[in-house]
Amino acid sequence: MSAQVPIIDFSRFTTGDAAARQEVAKEIVNAFRTYGFVHFINHPVTPSAISLTFRQSKLFFDLPISSKSKAPHPPGFTVHRGYSHPGLEKISNLTASTNGSTNGTATNGTDKAAVELARQVPDIKESYDIGSEHNTEQPNVWPPPNLIPGFRGFMTGFYWTLAEFAREILRALALGIGLDEEHLLKIYENGEYNQLRLLHYPEVDARILEEGRAVRIPAHCDWSAFTMLFQDDCGGLEIESPTTPGKFIAVEPIEHACLVNIGDLMARWSNDFLKSTCHRVGMPPLLQNRCAGDKRTTRSRYSIGYFVTTPPDAVIECLPSCVDESRPAKYAPVTQREYNISKASMSYN
């Protein structure tokens, strides 16, 4: 088996006839069953929209911390919006008794101590989270408009572009697992509860990462139904090998591709038919991205994540085509809200 994440031309799905759509949907599902990850090329998000979003992201992160902090992530874990400075959020792979949805992890009483321990190795990243403007439970926290003119309108537009693309992916997943094409969309509705995340990993002394004194993002699974990711050309993303647990393989960035991975919510929903694969961000493999003279500084890295989930009151119950006598349901029904709360409490104090 190749160690490369499969690359699938998504236009075969969007423009194909019924037979072609069915065939591509099967390919997509097989890739998600094996790797948990797929690179989509020729997808509906235009190269210029992706480049412009990276440019806007850089404009935001280039601001002084005093300006970025004018759009602060609210204290605690119940609202996941706004700017998180380096060290604020700690991603980990500690899990609790219930399962959840965006990216990150879960809690119960005893896990809190483990999270405190994990926090001693900080994540060297900063992020800015955005949701739908209609989501009153998770209100957006925008920077003052004069700081980056047009930022709010632009990001809101990009959010909905991705929500539309997510609908097509949900159609492909439903077809590929033997359901009616619209089955998952009835639960997803229109994408109001997704989360757009701009990420910046600042330059860092390579030794700090090599010696394990800090990480960019440690190994974790996402909580989303699935995640759509655009990465710049720096590299450093690794996924757990499908054949050798504990071994990580590099995912080379492909310009303008959308890298999609199954999250824990979809794994649960599909009765573990689809695989949520552990991944992390560490040292970039390419030398030119790691060294600046004698200092051995890793280049800074930008990525854009979009975490797809259902409305909070949706009941996530193992899908009918993934359950039969030989594969009884492994998970009790749970609302997305219950699942999400169990996950969110681990990442923010």
CB of 12 to Fe ion, least distance (A): 27
29 binds, among Fe ion, ligand AKG, none (CB under 5 to 8 A by kind): none
Per rule CB under 6 A, count of chain residues that contact ligand AKG: 12
Selected from 231, 342, 345, 347, the binder of ligand AKG by CB under 6 A is 231
H helical segments located in the chain = 11-14, 18-34, 47-62, 65-68, 111-118, 151-176, 183-188, 206-210, 264-269, 336-344
Q: Interface residues for Fe ion in 66-105 (CB under 5 A)?
A: 103
Please count the residues of this chain forming the interface with Fe ion, following the rule CB under 5 A: 2
> Taking the chain, what is the end-to-end CA distance rounded to the nearest angstrom?
41
The residues near 100 (Cβ < 8 Å, ≥ 6 apart) are: 106, 223, 264, 265, 339, 340, 341, 342, 343, 344
CB 222 to ligand AKG: min, Å: 5
Instruction: Give one DSSP letter per residue of 5-54, joined into a string.
Output: PPEEETHHHHS--HHHHHHHHHHHHHHHHHTSEEEEES-SS-HHHHHHHH
Give 126 or 222: the residue with its C-beta nearer to ligand AKG.
Answer: 222
**Residue 237 contact partner, candidates ligand AKG, Fe ion, none, CB within 5 to 8 A by sort of partner:** ligand AKG
Options 28, 281, 314, 318; binder of ligand AKG; rule CB under 6 A: 281
CA distance 197 to 39: 19
Nearest to 322 by CA among 88, 97, 32, 96: 32
Cβ-contact 194, 132 below 8 angstroms: yes
Residues 97-116 contacting ligand AKG, CB under 6 A: 103
DSSP, res 293: G
Note whether 240 binds ligand AKG by CB under 6 A: no
- Does residue 217 belong to the site contacting ligand AKG (CB under 6 A)? yes
Span of 55-63, 229-237, 264-272, 337-345 interacting with ligand AKG by CB under 6 A: 229-237
Q: What angle do CA 34, 158, 126 make, to 5 degrees?
A: 75
Taking the least distance from each CB to Fe ion, the nearer of 222 and 232 is 222
Q: Applying CB under 6 A, does 237 fall inside the site for ligand AKG? A: yes
Task: Tell me the residue nearest to ligand AKG as measured from the CB.
Answer: 303
- Name the site residues for Fe ion (rule: CB under 5 A): 103, 222
- Name the site residues for ligand AKG (rule: CB under 6 A): 103, 197, 199, 217, 222, 229, 231, 237, 279, 281, 303, 305
